């Protein structure tokens, strides 16, 4: 016959860091605009007990151009969110996601002739 696995107890599981719906909507909105502008082509999301990471790639076979990381343990110290560059340098840290994404959003601004 079949073997029935017991349903895990919520107290047994470790908490996993993740983006909430509002944060993920903001990140995916930026990703869509960057794809439309031709900057990015692929993305990856990783959730672990320590951090949630959204990585954006120019091409699939390369390193991510940027990583947006959320470390809940650092929310009271240097801020839960970090924008990390292609070579691992931290470009921006902060408490609010909008302020951390500002350098990437600036790349989308174009001067329109009147």
CA angle, 99 as apex, 82 and 14 as ends, to 5°? 40
Whether residue 81 is contained in a domain is answered as: yes
**The two three-digit tokens of residue 99, written as one number:** 């302020």
Confidence (pTM) = 0.80
Q: In b/e form, how buried is each residue of 14-37, taking b as 16+ CB within 10 angstroms?
A: eeebebeeebeeebeebbeebeee
Please list the ranges in the chain whose pLDDT falls under 50.
none
Whether residue 36 is contained in a domain is answered as: yes
Whether residue 111 is contained in a domain is answered as: no
Give the pLDDT of residue 73.
84
pLDDT in tens, 40-71: 899 999 998 889 999 999 887 778 999 999 99
Q: Between β-strands 90-94 and 52-57, what pairing exists: parallel, antiparallel or unpaired? A: unpaired
Give the pLDDT of residue 8.
64
> Are the C-beta atoms of residues 43 and 111 closer than 8 Å to each other?
no
Give the pLDDT of residue 83.
94
Whether residue 5 is contained in a domain is answered as: no
Domain that holds residue 61: 21-106
CA distance linking residue 92 with residue 44, whole number of Å = 20
Domain total in the chain: 1
Whether residue 3 is contained in a domain is answered as: no
Give the pLDDT of residue 44.
93
The secondary element (H helix, E strand) that includes residue 67 is strand 66-70
């Amino acid at each position: 016959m079949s073997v029935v696995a017991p349903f895990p107890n919520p107290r047994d599981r470790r908490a996993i860091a993740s983006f909430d719906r509002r944060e993920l909507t903001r990140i995916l909105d930026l990703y869509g605009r960057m794809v439309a502008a031709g900057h990015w082509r692929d993305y990856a999301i990783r959730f672990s007990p320590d951090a949630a990471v959204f990585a954006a790639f120019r091409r699939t076979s390369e390193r991510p151009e940027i990583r947006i990381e959320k470390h809940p343990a650092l929310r009271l110290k240097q801020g839960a969110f970090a924008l990390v560059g292609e070579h691992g340098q931290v470009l921006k840290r902060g408490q609010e996601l909008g302020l951390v994404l500002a350098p990437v959003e600036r790349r989308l601004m174009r001067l329109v002739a009147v």
